[in-house]
A and B are shown apart, each in its own frame.
Chain A
């Protein structure tokens, strides 16, 4: 079932700018993951943050997690045209299944 909401639904920025996407969820989680999907393709795993972590970095990606607010954010710094894609958060709970958010369509203009 769909439990995550992401905002914005769509985001358009200029190359070089930072992009921030937010994700909210409803139930308790073990971890939260972010994925990227290019149009018509499979998902690429970007980063996983555990429920006891608050922030994590990977290259140009920065993820935060606030379990008290049941929310997470993904920041992409110095965006590139190649970052254009849909981004999904996904939560993993006690059932160890992934529940996906609604996604954010990011467009980076050259």
Chain B
């Protein structure tokens, strides 16, 4: 099946620094990728939709200047958490949509997630 990778898998940083997380679709092209965050024992909350070659679409309440998204190629999207603070500590998961199966499938494949801890 389709594989999506994320890097790094775990990062610890000091408050005020910026952290970049990469999301790659390894064996398919993804014009659309999604970024989610998940707090402990909770469900995934969509943060933004990343579109190749255009600006990302952010969900209500998500600061676009704090969570910078770049989708520079059909296989790579990056999420940069700028000036991170302890409340940004969370599990960040990306997904990539594989539409090669035709209309109505919209299967999303998820990366393994990145655990961010801000001290």
Interface of B is mostly: strand
Interface residues on A, range: 20 to 34
- Among B75-107, those with CB < 8 Å from A are 91, 93, 95, 97, 104-107
**Most chain-A CB neighbours within 10 Å: which of B32, B44, B107, B113?**
B44
Complex-state Cα separation, A58 to B19, whole angstroms: 39
CB distance B44 to A41 under 8 Å? no
Instruction: Let me know if B56 is at the binding interface, CB within 8 A.
Output: no
B43 with A101: CB separation less than 8 A: yes
| Residues A33 and B43 in contact in the complex (CB < 8 Å), given A42-B113, A98-B95 | no
- Known contacts A30-B104, A48-B107; A43/B115 CB under 8 A: no
> How far, in angstroms, from A76 to B43 measured CA to CA in the complex?
21
CA distance A8 to B104 in the complex (A): 29
- Chain A residues lying within 8 Å of B117, measured Cβ to Cβ, are none
Q: CA A88 – CA B104 in complex, angstroms?
A: 20
